[in-house]
Structure 1
Amino acid sequence: MIEVIQGDITKIPVDAIVNAANTSLLGGGGVDGAIHRAGGPEILEDCKKIRSKQGGCPVGTAVITTAGKLPAKYVIHTVGPVWNQGKSNEEALLASAYLSSLKLAVEHEVNTIAFPNISTGIYRFPKQRAAEIAMDTVQQFLAVNAVIEKVIFVCFDGENLEIYRELLKTVR
């Protein structure tokens, strides 16, 4: 039900991939830029429509768009928190980003979903703690929701891969 791999999230054939977006939804660096580049202009067009309706995507929430040219049906854009030494409710906001993404997935009958390591890049959230929050949030959600059959954590770097593999051992 939970899998951990190292790779490029834009190449994962699932119902939905999650984008570690910024509040503007206009693309950026890291995984956000990679998803927009690989998916093509349709994703940005959908993001612009969402912006005109609600003005962006607040931290800890999520929105859904087409996946354009990606091998997924949807992109769920979520905004994780910027790490501020734990002084700005970052842990709860990160959990909320994962939970909001999972709830949107269920609303759209997503059976398979791939997550990047949200907030651990330029937002500097400590990788170990971010992985613990991600794994805990996903496990708790899957325990009471049967729609999602598989969650894949797609790690960009080896450090995150090892952290997630160790956490996964304690899950089983």
Structure 2
Amino acid sequence: MKTRPTITLVRGDITEQHADVLVNAANSSLLGGGGVDGAIHRRGGPEILAACRGLRASRYGKGLPTGQAVATTAGRLNAEYVVHTVGPVWSPTEDRSALLASCYRQSLRVASELGVRSVAFPAISTGIYGWPLDDGARIAVSTVRETALPPVTEVRFVLFDEEAYACFNEALTA
């Protein structure tokens, strides 16, 4: 039987976290943007952008597809790696929840392949991409609970504000 990771919640800024992997809610270009993506690129420094440019020049010429994940250096962040994943834009007419779940699952797969133990996630797609916070929290928590990929033993959701923390706490205790 595989051991499930311990899940914790933290209110704060993901760029200030100490973890083996910080997950970036990236846009498909991998070249930085707003929200979490911009913050990770700014705080992590030019090494992250250089690594992302390298990925664009090689495997991801058209950008990283939604629901996929890829690792780079963490630059100046307090982590070994940044795992970039592209969340779906929420749609009221099309169910894209499998793509959102894939972001968490693929990020954990990459972390496991890197051999790390701790992963810090933001609330993927719940910002500018418009995913309803309560549903995003439910998908995030249930996907992480269902995904056991050693050696990952700790998953931390780093939530920017009290509303996000409350939604994730509700999903975690449900």
TM-score, with structure 1 as normaliser: 0.95
2:115 to 61, 84, 109: 109
Alignment correspondent of 1:164:
168
What letter is aligned with 1:71? N
Q: Tell me the residue number matched to 1:73.
A: 80
Q: What's 2:105 paired with?
A: 99
Deviations, residues 106-131 of structure 1 (Å, cap 9, x unaligned): 00011000000000000000111111
Moved over 2 A (4+): none
Aligned to 2:154: 150
Q: CA RMSD, aligned part only?
A: 0.9
Instruction: Give how far 1:146 is off.
Output: 3.1
Q: Give the secondary structure class of the aligned counterpart of 2:24.
A: strand
C-alpha distance in 1 between matches for 2:150 and 2:90: 32
User: Where does residue 47 of structure 2 map in the other structure?
Assistant: 42
Given residue 166 of structure 1, which amino acid in structure 2 is its aligned partner? Answer: E
Distance in 2 separating the partners of 1:146 and 1:86: 36
CA-CA distance at 1:157 after TM superposition: 1.3
Q: Quote the residue 2:12 is aligned against.
A: 7
Higher helix proportion: 1
Could you say if the C-alpha distance between residues 31 and 8 of structure 1 is closer, same or farther in structure 2, counting changes exceeding 3 Å? same
What is the letter of the counterpart of residue 169 of structure 2? R
Q: Deviations over 1:25-69 (max 9, x none)?
A: 010000100000000000000000001112221100011000000
Unaligned runs of 5+ in 1: none
Task: Give the SS at the match of 2:158.
Answer: strand
Give, in whole Å, the separation in 2 of the partners of 1:122 and 1:86: 18
1:152 partner letter: R
State whether structure 2 residue 128 is matched by structure 1 residue 128.
no
CA–CA distance in 1 between the matches of 2:93 and 2:51?
33
Q: Which amino acid aligns with 2:27?
A: N
In the alignment, which residue of structure 2 is the partner of 1:20?
Answer: 25
Whole-Å separation in 1 of the counterparts to 2:150 and 2:51: 28
SS of residue in 2 equivalent to 1:77 = strand
Unaligned runs of 5+ in 2: 1-5
- Once the two structures are aligned, what percentage of the paired residues are identical? 53
| Cα-to-partner distance string for 1:150-170 (whole Å, 9 max, x where unaligned) | 000000111110011122223
